[in-house]
A = this chain, B = another copy of it.
Amino acid sequence: MHNGPQPTDLGDVRATNRAVVLRHVRDHAPCSRADIATHTGLNKATVSSLVAELIGYRLLRETGVTENRVGRPATMLVLDGEPYAALGMQVSADELVVVAIDPGGNRLLTWQRAFTTLTATAGETVTALAALARRALSRVTGQGRQVLGLTVGIPGLVDTTGAVPLAAALGWHDVPLAVDLRKALREPAFPVTVDNEANLAVLAEQRHGGHADTADLVHLTGTAGIDAGIVVAGRLLRGARGFTGAVGHLPLDPTGPPCRCGRRGCLEAYAGLPALVDRLLPDPAQDDPVTDFTPEIDRIRALARAGEPTVLTGLAETGRHLGHGVALLAGVVNPATVLLGGHLATLAPWLLPAARAELAERTVAPDTGGCHLDASTLGGIAAALGGATAALSTIEAGRLPASTGG
């Protein structure tokens, strides 16, 4: 009894209609009240009342522009959102990132702070996240903006309370991240949410990326681990408990290299950041385990550009494993496009040819339309950008901002 049209309860109707109006203006601005009524099927009185309310909250504003057409000239509406901001953060292998956007999707700030996440304790990471969040909050509230919320992306399992039962890539077990962050921010009522970084990254792709029109889209994180954020028919695939997209441990070869999950030959054991650096740079710049990956990835890229044969061979081999993993994923969820993120995007020019060949080879009936594999254009901050986008979601769903906040 779940598919088909959903009856709404009365309390939701006004919020839903508000969301429909906001969305129409986002997609079609500038537009008039009459346009909104015509295209949404809402009656004009309802539209007028909703628009008045949204103007009152400065989520919409009138422009001086009027349309010349038969009938009365109309006052045109555009998105406002000037008094608001939303924050997103991500915890990558060697940095913390914070992004702020306004409700129109404009980027207000993007800060990347080096941090050795893989050797820090969860407590140290939370403290560093909170410090970075406070600086960002202070910056945007200093611009006179109310901050609607903060969403943090984590490479691991995240439950509905914003706790992290397991983030193997970070060595985290049972970290009540949302609660701890609210405490560290000393703002117990501030809306902090936590999500899997891949889910946030694909949300950023959908809204801000180069394939925003693709309804069936996957973003493969190449940050600390390899997770898939999966959008199907325009909606994020969340699953029963929110634990979707665990592709890093799809088995490619049970006799392959050991994986930190305890098995062998998982996708991450070939193409995860630590595995890739180990295999391509058997003689790393330092003797200790690598914790700062960006310079190592830069070295790999420089060697690849210089045509170093062992690095090129290693990247092609990694590409083949990636293509294999993508083929398994594509067989289950059949995306139109899979985008490589994080360090996989940085190395994409050398990974993609072999990855695409392997994917085509393993696709059933590839001539019926295979899966397109490409690099993300969002840089290494897709999850943070998606987090900020997610933090706008209550507004976009038609809920009004609290009158105090930020």
Contact = CB atoms under 8 A, between A and B. Distances in A.
Contacts of A41: 8-10, 13
Interface stretch (A72-80, A237-245, A309-317): A237-245
Nearest to A215: B2
A334 B254 contact: no
A127 B235 CA distance: 40
A245 to B, nearest CB: 6
A224 to B, nearest CB: 15
A155 to B, nearest CB: 13
Given A157-B368, A215-B240, A244-B333, A1 B206 contact: yes
A3 B206 contact: yes
A233 interface: yes
Given A240-B336, A328-B250, A165 B368 contact: yes
A213 B1 contact: yes
B1 A27 contact: yes
Nearest to A8: B41
A240 B228 contact: no
Interface stretch (A16-24, A146-154, A176-184, A347-355): A16-24
B254 A239 contact: no
B332 A329 contact: yes
A253 interface: yes
Nearest to A38: B10
Looking at chain A's contact residues, the main secondary structure is loop
A191 interface: no
Nearest to A17: B5
A328 B24 CA distance: 40
A365 interface: yes
Given A159-B368, A238-B233, A4 B27 contact: no
A335 interface: yes
B157 A365 contact: yes
Interface of A: 1-5, 7-10, 13, 16, 19-20, 23-24, 26-27, 38-41, 157, 159, 165-166, 168, 203, 206-207, 212-216, 228, 230-247, 249-255, 261, 328-329, 331-337, 364-365, 367-369, 371, 393, 396-398
8 contacts: A1-B27, A10-B41, A166-B364, A166-B365, A168-B364, A239-B334, A240-B335, A251-B251
